[in-house]
A and B are shown apart, each in its own frame.
Chain A
Amino acid sequence: MKRINVLQPKALLKVFAVLVPLLLNGYGIAAASTEQLPSVSRNEVVAAPAVEAAHGAQAAPEEEKAGDVIMHHILNNRVFAFPPFGSVELPEIKVGGFDISITKHVVMLWVVSAILLVIFSIVGAKYKKMTPSQAPKGLVNAMEALVEFIRTDVAKANIGKEYEKYLTYLLTVFFFILLCNLMGLVPYGATATGNINVTLTLATFTFFLTQMAALKAHGIKGYLAHLTGGTHPALWIIMIPIEFIGLFTKPVALTIRLFANMTAGHIVILSLIFISFILKSYIVAVVMSVPFSIFIYLLELFVAFLQAFIFTMLSALFIGLASAHEGHDEHEAGVASH
């Protein structure tokens, strides 16, 4: 331990020796020395409007370019770009007036599907060969931990007895969203779940499953009675629209939660990186952009798992609540407690 402590100052000196010329180079662009740095960057900020005024045509597009690049990264488009190597133009398909072009996010969905199919065909084949007395290992074990988690802690805990019917959906949606989220953190990847259309579609599946579970559990009569909120018929004119809107708030919340979480994380990372470009300073890049974007990246890694879990968890919860054979009051209490 002591030897390491002795070595550390030397290592730090080396890092400084590498960094100082780099930083000086940065000041070189700003035409200033190390001591003058803070004032220089302040000057730059203060001077920005003046520069904009002076070179309006030049500065404005540059500032817009950062936003455009961020939006380009987040939004869907028909170009799959591999920055230094060029880009692939994706085909445009129109069927009966509907635009069903293959876009960047569609490609990512397919990549995710392919990875899922490859992983789970390997895992599934192992399970077909395995006897109950054998213990899983490696990839199979890793996947089993996740599958078992979704099965017991998400599906069984929230849905109850009839959880097996919904297990297929919950498992698929969990791994699908998880991998979509993670693909956004891979170079050249894009976050399909950062697109509201994708999350809306997935939430719609949950919505239909929830309604089917409610219909199956209570019958059409019970389902319609639920819409009146169990109140006096005089109040139905108020209650029915409220309960009807209430049906759609859950999937809309699912949609926006996933979409906003994934989009926000990417915007934060890209913005942090672009700060150094906008301020044109290496010191900002070294001190702020890189460490902070690494921090947000790690946070995103966590959020990728968290959001996949939350989407699955809430889907299971909604299905469980819809199929629960409980009174309306308990149902509301259950919602409130979560």
Chain B
Amino acid sequence: MLTSGVILLAGSLLSPEPGLIFWTAITFILVLLILKKIAWGPIITALQDREKGIQSSIDRAHQAKDESEAILRKNRELLSKADAEADRILREGKDYAEKLRADITEKAQSEAKKMIASAKDEIEQEKRRALDVLRNEVADLAVKGAEKIIKTALDADMQKKIVNSMIQDFSTKRN
């Protein structure tokens, strides 16, 4: 109780001290000036630089994101275009192959026909030649037979019969 009374009554708590005010002002202003030079300047500059750096990093990141999205979109477009292109090429290839196959088949068939036709011609020719040869042979044979007949017996009726029968034989054989 007495203690608090002493504290309250002691006016010195609120007493002015011009010396202390003077020293406080001087000290504070000097500290302020020195700190401004050695600390606040560099710190604030560094903080602002870092803020700017972070902001620019964020901006750059956004930009990169936009760019990559654009690239992705472009890629997708290209991919779909390439898909369409591939489809088209495939279809065209199939069509071409189909046509080619048809062509080749047709050509082969015509070739085959041609070959068959030529073979037939050849066969015909060969046959004709063979027939000619045969005819000559037959004629020769006939002549020889006749010769023989003539040589052996000159019986006209007989000979006629023989020749006729021979001719008949040949013609039946021929057919």
Nearest CB on B from A87, distance (A): 19
Task: Determine if A151 and B47 form an interchain contact, defined as CB atoms under 8 angstroms apart.
Answer: yes
> A198 near B: Cβ within 8 Å?
yes
Task: State whether the Cβ of A67 lies closer than 8 Å to any Cβ in chain B.
Answer: yes
Contact yes or no, A99 B19, CB < 8 A: yes
Q: Which chain A residue shows the least CB distance to B14? A: A196
A63 to B5, CA, bound (A): 11
Number of interface residues of A (CB under 8 A): 62
A110 with B24: CB separation less than 8 A: no
Residue of B at shortest CB range from A116?
Answer: B31
Stretch of A21-29, A164-172, A216-224, A225-233 lying at the B interface: A164-172
Least CB distance, A9 to chain B, in whole angstroms = 40
Contacts of A205 in B (CB 8 A): 28
Q: Which residues of B contact A106 (CB under 8 A)?
A: 19-20, 23-24, 27
Q: A120-B39, A127-B43, A169-B32 are in contact. Are A195 and B20 (CB under 8 A)?
A: yes
Q: Answer whether A132 and B38 are a contact pair too, CB < 8 Å, given A99-B18, A151-B44.
A: no
| Cβ contact within 8 Å between A168 and B47 | no
Chain B window 16-49, contacts with chain A (Cβ cutoff 8 Å), 1 for yes, 0 for no = 1111111111011011101110111111111101
**B31 & A164 in contact (Cβ 8 Å cutoff):** no
B39→A124 contact, CB < 8 A: yes
Query: Out of B18, B25, B42, which one reaches A127, CB within 8 Å?
Result: B42
CB-CB contacts below 8 Å: B58-110 with A? none
Q: Flag A33-64 by CB within 8 Å of B: 1 or 0 each.
A: 00000000000000000000000000000011
| Chain B CB within 8 A of A70 CB | yes
> Do A67 and B3 touch (CB < 8 A)?
yes
Residues of B within 8 A of A144 (CB): 43, 47
Contact mask A112-129 → B, CB, 8 Å, 1/0?
010011001101110110
Binding site for A on B (CB under 8 A): 2-7, 10, 12-14, 16-25, 27-28, 30-32, 34-36, 38-47, 49-50, 52-53
| Between-chain CB contacts (< 8 Å), 24 pairs | A63-B3, A66-B3, A67-B2, A70-B6, A71-B6, A76-B17, A93-B19, A99-B19, A100-B23, A109-B23, A113-B30, A120-B35, A121-B39, A124-B39, A132-B53, A144-B43, A151-B44, A167-B44, A171-B40, A176-B28, A198-B20, A201-B21, A201-B28, A271-B3
